């Protein structure tokens, strides 16, 4: 049964409001294309209201600024308790709006409270230093929240992205205006209601749904926004970095895409490597930024591996995301499905060998067959651009030195992996590969304790880990005259 849609308006100053223009937009089910809700569409005027509310909540005399840091942590922990209470509903809503298969949604949404609790626990551990200085003085540093943060979310894992950004900003004492992705506007609203219930004062969290070109652009250009954190495409990430310097100088954190290389050495255990490589690119329909979308297999085992990879892909069950036995659901929207299908056509045209899949399934919803290309070479489009779909591209290599250089020959640098039983190979690869996250004999392993982010065009800054609060803080150095002698 479809989950009840409780919230469709904008959330400003802890109230549900229509957009100033009165405009709305539709969000559709990726499973069958039907309209599942009509949502208030915010633009510049609504962003202005939301930023005003967030500024008021950031005033030095506001309830939020006067609150003890430990209390901020307690409110966020209460938020985690409420997410636990509503986990079944949130899981269904995430799956319904996004097309995420229910088993994956259970893992993402069920696991998200670990992230909330970890980040919440940092709220009262943000501290500066005392510094011995030359001369008659005493110095110390304060770490203070940067101010109003604009948080722009992608559609691929909406709840986790919301938590990574919103909870981190709140742990530091910042206030926020969130612009969820237009494809998946619903779960952010449900989470905002839970933050209010947990005791977050008015104006601290504001949600403005709408399009990137209107609401997103207004947020990134707003002179009273001190910081932008964005997850999405590298293309938009570059626009955001420019916008962030246009009126004031905003701090920027960017989590962008990838073209992540996964290396299979000929000494690897194929019983482990084949399913990890498949899951690394087919999980969540390939719509994950760390997808293993360049699979390099060493020449001695290449034919054997390709055969096993094709068999694995053929065994993937595609269908209704609500079915708990299904592995792969629909792409998020028609436009994204068509983009993936165009990449598949391009792959065929440029001479990659299509071994299974390659087509849309049916004509209802946005389903694509699990697709495997072999004999891909580095110059092909499917080896260079982020596909964000269920497409495995297999490339052949001979030596470790060669594959490290080929792995690094991209502007991206988000994740990388290697399967090998040789510890030297693993360590050499981990040292030299240009990626923010590296896995050895595993893939897609993430956690609240682990810093996450990219090298090169894959982003700026890191989320998660003990230092996740730093991008939301300013360091203030205070020096007090203190004569050495009494």
Residues lying near ligand NAD in the complex (CB under 6 A): 152-156, 179, 181-182, 211-213, 216-217, 220, 231-233, 236, 239-240, 255-257, 289, 386, 388
d(CA 448, CA 76): 15
Closest approach of ligand NAD to the CB of residue 208, in Å:
11
For residue 152, what is the enclosing H or E element? Answer: strand 148-152
| Nearer of residues 76 and 243 to ligand NAD, judged by Cβ | 243
Closest to 89 (Cα-Cα) out of 75, 74, 102, 76: 102
Closest approach of ligand NAD to the CB of residue 90, in Å:
19
Closest to 14 (Cα-Cα) out of 227, 181, 225, 197: 197
| Nearer of residues 104 and 273 to ligand NAD, judged by Cβ | 104
The verdict on whether 468 is a catalytic residue reads: no
Active-site entry in 182, 255, 386, 434: 255
Q: In angstroms, what is the C-alpha Rg of the chain?
A: 23
| Nearer of residues 42 and 370 to ligand NAD, judged by Cβ | 42
Active-site entry in 41, 289, 369, 386: 289
- By CB atoms closer than 10 A (0-12, 13-18, 19+), residue 393 is buried
Closest approach of ligand NAD to the CB of residue 180, in Å:
6
DSSP 200: P
The verdict on whether 289 is a catalytic residue reads: yes
User: Is residue 123 within 8 Å of residue 187, measured between CB atoms?
Assistant: no
| Nearer of residues 72 and 222 to ligand NAD, judged by Cβ | 222
Closest approach of ligand NAD to the CB of residue 388, in Å:
4
d(CA 414, CA 231): 12
Closest approach of ligand NAD to the CB of residue 238, in Å:
10
| Nearer of residues 115 and 155 to ligand NAD, judged by Cβ | 155
| Nearer of residues 6 and 238 to ligand NAD, judged by Cβ | 238
Closest approach of ligand NAD to the CB of residue 459, in Å:
8
Give the long-range contacts of residues 33-40, CB within 8 A, separation 24 or more: 33/334, 33/364, 33/365, 33/366, 36/2, 36/5, 36/96, 36/97, 36/186, 37/5, 37/8, 37/185, 37/186, 38/8, 39/8, 39/185, 39/186, 39/209, 40/8, 40/9, 40/10, 40/209
User: What is residue 474's three-state secondary structure?
Assistant: strand
Active-site amino acid positions: 255, 289
């Amino acid at each position: 049964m479809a989950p009840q849609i409780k919230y469709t308006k904008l959330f400003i100053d802890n109230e549900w409001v229509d957009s100033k223009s009165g405009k709305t937009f539709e969000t559709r089910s990726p499973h069958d294309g039907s309209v599942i809700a009509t949502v208030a569409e915010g633009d510049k005027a609504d962003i202005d209201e939301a930023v005003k509310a967030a500024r008021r909540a950031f005033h030095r005399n506001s309830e939020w600024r006067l609150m003890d840091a430990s209390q901020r942590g307690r409110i966020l922990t209460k938020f985690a308790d409420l997410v636990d209470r509503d986990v079944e509903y949130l899981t269904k809503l995430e799956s319904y709006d996004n097309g995420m298969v229910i088993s994956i949604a259970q893992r993402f949404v069920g696991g998200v409270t670990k992230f909330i609790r970890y980040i919440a626990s940092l709220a009262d551990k943000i501290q500066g230093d005392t510094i011995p200085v030359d001369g008659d003085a005493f110095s110390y540093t304060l770490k203070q929240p940067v101010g109003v943060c604009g948080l722009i979310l992608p559609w691929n894992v909406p709840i986790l992205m919301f938590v990574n950004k919103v909870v981190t900003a709140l742990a530091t004492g910042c206030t926020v205006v969130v612009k969820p992705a237009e494809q998946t506007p619903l779960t952010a609203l449900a989470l905002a209601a839970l933050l209010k219930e947990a005791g977050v004062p008015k104006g601290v969290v504001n949600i403005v749904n709408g399009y990137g070109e209107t609401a997103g652009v207004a947020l990134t250009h707003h002179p009273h926004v001190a910081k932008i954190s964005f997850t999405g495409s590298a293309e938009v990430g570059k626009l955001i970095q420019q916008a962030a310097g246009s009126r004031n100088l905003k701090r920027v954190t960017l989590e962008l895409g990838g073209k992540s290389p996964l290396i299979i050495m000929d000494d690897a255990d194929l019983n482990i490597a084949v399913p990890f490589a498949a899951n690394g690119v087919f999980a969540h329909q390939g719509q994950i930024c760390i997808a293993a979308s360049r699979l390099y297999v060493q020449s001695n085992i290449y034919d054997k591996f390709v055969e096993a990879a094709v068999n694995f892909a053929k065994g993937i069950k595609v269908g209704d995301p609500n079915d708990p036995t299904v592995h792969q659901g629909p792409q998020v929207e028609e436009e994204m499905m068509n983009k993936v299908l165009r990449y598949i056509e391009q792959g065929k045209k440029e001479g990659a060998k299509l071994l299974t899949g390659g087509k849309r399934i049916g004509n209802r919803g946005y389903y694509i067959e699990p697709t495997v290309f072999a004999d891909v070479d580095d110059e092909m489009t499917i080896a260079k651009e982020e596909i964000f779909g269920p497409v495995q591209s297999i490339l052949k290599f001979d030596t470790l030195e060669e594959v490290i250089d080929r792995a690094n020959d991209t502007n991206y640098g988000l994740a990388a992996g290697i399967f090998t039983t040789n510890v030297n190979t693993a360590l050499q690869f981990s040292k030299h590969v240009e990626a923010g996250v590296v896995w050895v004999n595993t893939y897609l392993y993430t956690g609240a304790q682990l810093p996450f982010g990219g090298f090169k065009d894959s982003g700026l800054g890191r989320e998660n880990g003990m230092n996740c609060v730093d991008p939301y803080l300013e360091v203030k150095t205070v020096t007090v005259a203190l004569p050495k002698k009494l």
